[in-house]
Amino acid sequence: MQRTTPTTPAPSDRNDIRLSILGGFQLHAGDTVVPSLAPEAQHLLAFLALRDRVVSRSAIAGTLWAEASEAHAFASLRSALSRLPAAAHEVIVVTGADLALAPQVVVDLHEARALAHRLLDAETDLSANDLSAEAIALLSEECLPDWYDDWAIMEAEEWRQLRLHALDALAHHLLAADRFGDAVAAALAAVRADPLRERARATLIQVHLAEGNQSEAVRTFEQYRTLLADELGIEPTPALRALLPGTDAS
């Protein structure tokens, strides 16, 4: 797994090796997207990125090829490793019966998780980058969208829940700084991620009210009330209604 070719430097020779699994899968070596990654190789790299630790070959094979026999699963893993293009060989570290991403690989999900935890930690001093438009964009991305493997779906849902809470926290940080436009953007990102989530709507209403946009606040409430009625046959909670005391409850 350590060989290189004269024409294609290994990623460790590049200044930047990035594995993106938010919004879709891409492996970047410097400014170049590494091409020709077979689906099996993509799954292997994504799985190692999601685990973010050393993983045994047996655990990888048993998860990625769960429906196959043990022999077939191990053969598929060997095939996935052998089919990595030259530019991706040093992205994976092989140690005996274990595999892991090389330490120089930067994974966007790891950065996003760290950002989310900073936003949710009341004791953390946030930087300007933590409260930037780029932070909103990072937290707005789904993990491996359109991947339907069980292991990917579970990890995607775990990330969705974390980013919903982080977007809400980010919106409130921005609101406290009177950055109403950015606060709206963060709240709307949470609404898009889960249109039925009341907390996201409540935060959006609070931002509109703080900015003096009562009409937008009422419109947000009415849209949510209609959605709840159509989708679930229920009404908004009293806590949400309390944000707009004059809203007709009928």
Domains belonging to the chain, first-starting first, are 11-103 (1.10.10.10), 109-241 (1.25.40.10)
pLDDT at residue 173, rounded to an integer: 97
Region 149-158: mean pLDDT is: 95
Region 137-157: mean pLDDT is: 95
Task: Provide, rounded to the nearest whole percent, the portion of the chain with pLDDT above 90.
Answer: 79
User: For the segment 33-59, what is each residue's pLDDT rounded down to a tens digit?
Assistant: 888 788 999 999 999 999 999 999 999
Q: What's the pTM value of the predicted model, to 2 decimals? A: 0.87
* Alpha helices (H) along 12-69: 39-51, 57-64
Smallest CA-to-CA distance from 22 within 110, 87, 85, 104 is with: 110
**Residue 156 in contact with residue 144, Cβ under 8 Å?**
yes
pLDDT at residue 84, rounded to an integer: 84
**Residue 155 in contact with residue 143, Cβ under 8 Å?**
yes
Q: What is the helix (H) or strand (E) element at residue 106, kind and residue range?
A: strand 105-107
pLDDT at residue 32, rounded to an integer: 86
Region 113-129: mean pLDDT is: 96
